[in-house]
C-alpha cells in the first residue's frame, strides 16, 4: 500500500496546495471588497479625501494599462529582433534590402 501512496504523492501535494490557495483567495476577497467602500467614504468627507479618491482611480487605470504595455513592449521587441535577423540574412546572401516594399504588383 505504501508504494501506491508514493506514486500519487506529488498529485496529492498539488491538490493540497491548490486548496490552500483557494481558501486564502476566498478569505482575502472580503478585505479587497472593502477598498471601494473606503474610497467612497473618503471622497464624501473632505477635499483631501477627494484627492485621495482620485489617486485610487488613477492607480486603477495604471494597473489596468500595465499588462497591455508589457505585452506591446515584448511584441515590439520580438518584431524588431526578427526583422533585424531577416535583414542580416538578406545582406549575407547579397540581396539588396529596400526600406519601402514594392506593393504595385
> Is 104 a member of any domain?
no
Cα separation, 1 vs 56, whole angstroms: 56
Question: Number of structural domains, the chain?
Answer: 1
pLDDT above 90 covers what percent of the chain? 20
With a cut of 70, which residues of the chain have pLDDT below it? 1-9, 28-43, 45-46, 49, 96-105
Residue 61 lies in domain: 2-27+34-93
- Determine the Cα angle at 35 with ends 31 and 41, to 5°: 130
> Is 85 a member of any domain?
yes
In the prediction, which pLDDT does 73 show? 95
Torsion sign, CA atoms 70, 76, 82, 88: negative
> Is 69 a member of any domain?
yes
- If phi over 0 gives left and psi between -120 and 50 gives alpha, with beta otherwise, what is residue 30? alpha
pTM (predicted TM-score)? 0.45
Amino acid at each position: 500500500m505504501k508504494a501506491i501512496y508514493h506514486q500519487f504523492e506529488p498529485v496529492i501535494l498539488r491538490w493540497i496546495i491548490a486548496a490552500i490557495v483557494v481558501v486564502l483567495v476566498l478569505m482575502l476577497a472580503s478585505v479587497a471588497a472593502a477598498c471601494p467602500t473606503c474610497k467612497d467614504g473618503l471622497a464624501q468627507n473632505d477635499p483631501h479625501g477627494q484627492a485621495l479618491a482620485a489617486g485610487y482611480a488613477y492607480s486603477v487605470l495604471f494597473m489596468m494599462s500595465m499588462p497591455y504595455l508589457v505585452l506591446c513592449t515584448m511584441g515590439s521587441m520580438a518584431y524588431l529582433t526578427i526583422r533585424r535577423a531577416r535583414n542580416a540574412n538578406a545582406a549575407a546572401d547579397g540581396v539588396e534590402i529596400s526600406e519601402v516594399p514594392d506593393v504595385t504588383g
